[in-house]
Amino acid sequence: MLLVLKHIQKRYGGVAALRDASLEVQAGEVHLLVGENGAGKSTLMKIVAGLLRADGGDFLWQGKHVQFRDPAEAASRGIAMVHQEPLLAPHLSVAENIFLGREPRGPLGWVNRREMTRRAASLIEQHRFPLQAEARVEKLSPATKQMVQICRAIQRDAKLLIFDEATASFSDAETQEVFRIVRALRDSNVGVIYITHRLEELRAIGDRVTVLRDGANVHSGPLGELSTDELIRHMVGRELGSTYVRTPLLPGDELLGVEHLTREPALHDISFSLRAGEIVGLAGLMGAGRTELCRALFGVDSISSGNIRIAGRLPCLRSPEDAVRAGIALIPEDRQRHGLTTALPVSHNLTLAGLRGVCRFGFLNHPAENRLAADYTARLRIGAHSSRQLAGQLSGGNQQKVAIAKWLVRQARVFLFDEPTCGIDVAAKAEVFRLMDELARGGAAILMVSSEMTELLQVADRILVMREGRISGELPGLASPERTTQEQIMRYAALHGRGAAAGENNE
Amino acid sequence: MIQRLLPFFALIALFVILAVVSPNFLTATNLASVVRQTTVINILALGMTMVIITGGIDLSVGSNLALAGLLGSMAMARYGIPAGLVAGLITGALCGLANGAMITGLRISPFIVTLGAMGIYRGLALIVSKGLPVSDIPPAYSYLAEGTLARVPFALWILAACAVVVHVILEHTRLGRYAFSIGSNPDAAYYAGVPVRFHTTAVYTIAGLLAGLAGMIETSRLMTGQPTSGQGYELTAIAAVVIGGGSLRGGEGTVLGTLMGALIMGLLANGSDLLGTNPYWQQVIIGGVIILAVALDELRKRRTSA
């Protein structure tokens, strides 16, 4: 056994990323690692590659207990990770990148460039990589850049290669090329761990599969014995986190209408509408284009074609300034960076978007601002000593409430929530849901992006599913008597349109 | 809180020490000269405070001061004092507007834009004047820098008025609030729909206007329009803001702090003059004080955040 992980645990602050993860990889096999967003796949691989240290459990490498101090130590022991975003020196050649830090030396310690290029060329030749040793890396496509990484790993005699979502952005031809190389590596007795979200890829490449869910193993075994339906069932099946129940409303007029929205290369032909009083969920795997859609609707990114209608009008959305004026609000995923200003008081954060409301001729009305801030702090039960406390001193949940309240002050009507419960505790989650419900009752339209399918099923009236920049399906939510399952969402999120339909028919 | 008042205590300590050590310090003539020497820097520093609060920097204010003073004195020589004043102020504001427009329009860092502008404005001043000072200024104009009103130097009244206006802008207007917000977290300001470009440009324009005003006072002080005046003033102004608690990372700075920072440097220079310190050492001392002030401020912040 090349690699044995047993009962690995890892906590970030109070959150357990890995509770009890185990994995065994042999030399000469391709082992697939699958699971939902946040299941702990990347954390587990970072531990193997020396980027993180486990808090508990056994880590055996070639039969010996190990604990790597840093990625360099893992690399020296034969473990290499192929990153989604290749970490290469763009201005250097392919050969220089392959030998980076291990350049063949001449007699006086100079780099022997000719020898380096020759050895790189023979390595490329031997594995039939579509590369040229002297090409500059910045001119290569993402797929070929990844091959340079693979070359580097092979040059260092890697015994285990980890591919983390390696082919997420590749075309079919490029993916096939990577697969060919992965198979060749396997045949030369290298162990490969392959993380992927694309379920149809699995059978083309994998020998065995391990499924992680909520930081623990749910299944491990040969891929051939597992049907796709079983696999999906293993991946989802997450337990309901809280007992929040929402009663849907009768939706009113359309507030947001999106027609054929396209932004190359992230979003393709997206059409949907949001009506007043509606909460619509937006599901999808990492990289499906959900955040990109929010950014486009909010004017952060320009769109290549298509229409965005707000309450029957077609405003020009070239910046968030335009979007805010049109009544759109974005509660961004990265709260600390985009959602609030941690170094300013809660009150200043609350009035930032709607500052005109407490101004006269450009002058601030401090008493009015303070009253407003105190009012919202109390109404949303924001846990702050006073509205003068700095926003950065609040807990994640309270920061989120501030980020939302900013838009209540502004009286926005279309709300885009991007991962609104990311990094906040269960009690705060329920309060955020309550707040969203209140907004919907007040006539707002809400689009809620979430990677937690259980949340979407608890809160959303309808659920849109995105996959590779398209809406791949729409499922009924609370408003419908038939209950959507997590398996259904996962099928639309992870399988091609055809696969999704076939899965439906099987039931 | 005590450490936040550090510039204030340092100023008082410096004042007391100089009063005790040098008999000439606490005389009306000397204090008036300190005020005249520091007014120009102080006014530049007020504009710089606003710019630094937005997370930017303006290296062009010294050159802007020279260009505005030069064009103002040329206009004054031909069309009289009011026209000259207006020309100087407009020149300053236009230079600031150009800085702001380039920073927000071309999306280049303020450091680079104003570094280039520093050369451009200085070069324009030299081209327009052919390198020669303009000296036919109406004698009455010396009142601006040298005259007194109610026994207080007139320049001090101007400075006080500017300080009040900048303080009101920063603490009591939407522009000021946006300036702090842009400096603290430009992304969050942008995502909240704040018109970041407009307000950034407005801040640079105000800083330019104040540089123009400082240029007209400098002209009155020298009674010539000097294309070479104001060299190095931008760095002294930045130092004043920083000693007064402003952060070059943006989001921090106060009018009172900046005034104290500028006064501390003015008193250090004046004190070394009175005590006969080697002028070469003056630069060493002032440089050391700048680093010490920022180091103490960083220490305070680290402690409060920990």
The domain spans of chain B are 6-21+29-301
Which tokens sit at B65? 């001061």
How near does any CA of chain B get to the CA of A341, in Å? Answer: 6
Beta bridge partners of A64: A61
Chosen from A291, A319, A321, A359 to mutate, greatest number of chain B CBs within 10 A: A321
DSSP symbol at B173: B
> What does the alpha-carbon distance between residue A328 and residue B92 come to, in Å, rounded to a whole number?
39
What is the tens place of the pLDDT at every residue in A448-483?
A: 998 888 888 888 999 999 988 899 989 888 867 677
A140 Rama class: left (phi>0) / alpha (psi -120 to 50) / beta: beta
Contact at CB, A340 and B184, closer than 8 angstroms: no
Average pLDDT, chain A: 85
Q: What is the pLDDT of residue B3?
A: 55
Chain B positions touching A325 (Cβ under 8 A) are 193
Fold observed for domain B6-21+29-301: ABC transporter involved in vitamin B12 uptake, BtuC (1.10.3470)
Alpha helices in A298-448 (DSSP H): 320-325, 346-351, 366-379, 396-410, 426-441
Q: What does chain B come to in residues?
A: 306
B180 vs A300, A332, A344: nearest CB: A344
> What does the alpha-carbon distance between residue B12 and residue B264 come to, in Å, rounded to a whole number?
9
| In chain A, ranges of CATH 3.40.50.300 domains | 3-235, 246-327+413-507
A485 Rama class: left (phi>0) / alpha (psi -120 to 50) / beta: beta
Q: What is the pLDDT of residue A14?
A: 61
A341 touches chain B (CB under 8 A): yes
A361 touches chain B (CB under 8 A): no
CB A106 within 8 A of CB A112: yes
Contacting residues for A233 by C-beta, under 8 A, at least 6 apart: A487
> Which residue has better confidence, A14 or B93?
B93
Chain A positions touching B184 (Cβ under 8 A) are 341-344
Chain A positions touching B173 (Cβ under 8 A) are 359, 362-364
Query: Considering the domain A246-327+413-507, what is its CATH architecture?
Result: 3-Layer(aba) Sandwich (3.40)
Contacting residues for B119 by C-beta, under 8 A, at least 6 apart: B63
Confidence of residue B11 (pLDDT cuts 50, 70, 90): confident
For A134-157, b/e burial (b = at least 16 CB within 10 A) is eeebeebeebbbbbbbbbbbbbbe
Least trusted range by pLDDT, from A32-36, A198-202, A310-314, B85-89: A198-202
A341 vs B176, B181, B193: nearest CB: B181
| DSSP 3-state of B134 | strand
A338 touches chain B (CB under 8 A): yes
Q: What is the pLDDT of residue B255?
A: 94
pLDDT at B114 over 80: yes
A132 touches chain B (CB under 8 A): no
> What does the alpha-carbon distance between residue A214 and residue A230 come to, in Å, rounded to a whole number?
17
Among A2-6, A136-140, A421-425, which range has the highest average pLDDT? A2-6
Contacting residues for A141 by C-beta, under 8 A, at least 6 apart: A174
Q: State the angle between helix axes of B28-53 and B255-274 in degrees (0 to 180), rounded to the nearest 10.
A: 140
What's the pTM value of the predicted model, to 2 decimals?
0.77
Q: What is the pLDDT of residue B105?
A: 93
Alpha helices in chain B (DSSP H): 6-21, 28-53, 61-79, 81-106, 110-129, 143-146, 154-172, 174-184, 186-191, 196-222, 233-243, 255-274, 279-305
pLDDT at B1 over 70: no
Q: What is the pLDDT of residue A90?
A: 86
Task: State what percent of residues in chain B have pLDDT above 70.
Answer: 97
CB B230 within 8 A of CB B62: yes
Chain B positions touching A319 (Cβ under 8 A) are 190
DSSP symbol at A63: T
Q: What is the CATH number of domain A3-235?
A: 3.40.50.300
Confidence of residue B40 (pLDDT cuts 50, 70, 90): very high
A339 touches chain B (CB under 8 A): yes
What is the tens place of the pLDDT at every residue in B197-231?
A: 999 999 999 999 999 999 999 999 999 999 999 99
CB A219 within 8 A of CB A32: no
Mean local confidence (pLDDT), B97-111: 95
pLDDT at B4 over 80: no
Q: What is the pLDDT of residue A503?
A: 43
Q: Tell me the CB-side half-sphere exposure of residue A346, using CA atoms within 13 A.
A: 29
Q: What is the pLDDT of residue A105?
A: 81
DSSP symbol at A266: T
**Environment class of residue A222 by beta-carbon count within 10 Å: exposed (0-12), middle (13-18) or buried (19+)?**
exposed
Backbone angles phi, psi at B180, to 5 degrees: -60, -40
Chosen from B53, B165, B175, B185 to mutate, greatest number of chain A CBs within 10 A: B185
Least trusted range by pLDDT, from A47-51, A92-96, B282-286: B282-286
Q: What is the pLDDT of residue A295?
A: 93
Q: Between A and B, how many residue pairs show a Cβ–Cβ distance under 8 A?
A: 73
A353 touches chain B (CB under 8 A): yes
Q: What is the pLDDT of residue B2?
A: 53
Mean local confidence (pLDDT), A326-351: 90
B177 vs A337, A340, A364: nearest CB: A364
Q: How many CB atoms lie within 10 A of CB B268?
A: 18
Question: Looking at chain A, which residue has its C-alpha nearest residue B187?
Answer: A338
